[in-house]
Copies of this chain bind each other. A is one copy, B any other.
Amino acid sequence: MRAVFQNELTNLQERLIQLSDLRLDAIRDATVSFNAADIGLADQVISGDTTIDKLAVELDELAIEILTRQSPVARDLRIVVSGLRMSATLERMGDLARHIAQLTRRRYPDHVAPESLRDVFVQMSAETIRAAELLTRLLRTQDVALANTLIEDDRALDDLHRSVFDLVLAPDWSGEAEQIVDVILATRFLERFGDQAVSIARKALFLATGEWAPAHG
């Protein structure tokens, strides 16, 4: 019975890593498609999001099953509860990657971002991919130092997000209203992606330490 339980817990953790990997691919492909106006890649992200959604639902079902049949306690309970909460956030991160790809699709064959903003979006993309990678490593290794790094690093993404506003509102901005709309949505999606990564990192800290308080955010 105990062995079955441990298998189920391991299975849950593996699915969480798998979900995290898929979401890493999604944000990588979404940002590449955004920066290069690559519609093929954008479409791949859009259609791939259903796989992420499905995996998240299956993970939830498994977590509920474990809670029902095994009544886990202490650290095991924390693993299951964290799994439930993280799956919802990973699924949401997949949605944000899809939103980025949908912006790319809507403006194709044009780029979403005008020339003057390309560089800042390339930098933001690198930051979101880095956050997504850190998160996968964190889930794999459960090394809390990675959680702290991720939380610290999110500031760079926030700074870039603010700089998009500055660029769009600068007196020498010459873009169309449509470009402002798209660019503001895009920067908001990427910033939120970073926030969601931070929120999972906080949940990972909870899992490691048993301190629930910082789970929200």
Size band of the A side of the interface? 20 to 34
Q: Which residue of B60, B74, B184, B213 is within 8 Å of A68 (Cβ)?
A: B74
Chain B CB within 8 A of A81 CB: yes
Chain B CB within 8 A of A152 CB: no
Chain B CB within 8 A of A5 CB: no
Taking the closest CB of chain B, its distance from the CB of A197, in whole angstroms, is: 15
Taking the closest CB of chain B, its distance from the CB of A202, in whole angstroms, is: 11
Q: Are B215 and A57 in contact (CB under 8 A)?
A: yes
Contact with B along A40-76 (1 / 0, CB 8 A): 0000000000000100110011001001100101100
How many copies of the chain does the oligomer comprise?
A: 2
Chain B CB within 8 A of A151 CB: no
Q: Are B67 and A81 in contact (CB under 8 A)?
A: yes
CA of A74 to CA of B53, assembled, Å: 24
Known: A88-B85, A169-B177, A177-B180. A68 touches B61 (CB 8 A): no
Contact with B along A188-200 (1 / 0, CB 8 A): 1000000000000
Which residues in chain A, 144-178, are within 8 Å of chain B measured between CB atoms? Answer: 165, 168-169, 173, 177-178
User: Beyond A57-B213, A165-B181: 16 further Cβ-contacts under 8 Å?
Assistant: A57-B215, A60-B216, A64-B77, A67-B77, A67-B81, A68-B73, A71-B73, A81-B84, A84-B84, A84-B85, A85-B85, A91-B216, A168-B177, A169-B181, A180-B184, A184-B185
24 A-B pairs (CB sep. < 8 Å): A53-B216, A56-B216, A57-B212, A60-B212, A67-B67, A68-B73, A68-B74, A68-B77, A71-B71, A71-B73, A84-B85, A85-B85, A85-B88, A88-B88, A88-B216, A91-B216, A165-B181, A169-B177, A169-B178, A169-B181, A180-B184, A184-B184, A184-B185, A188-B188
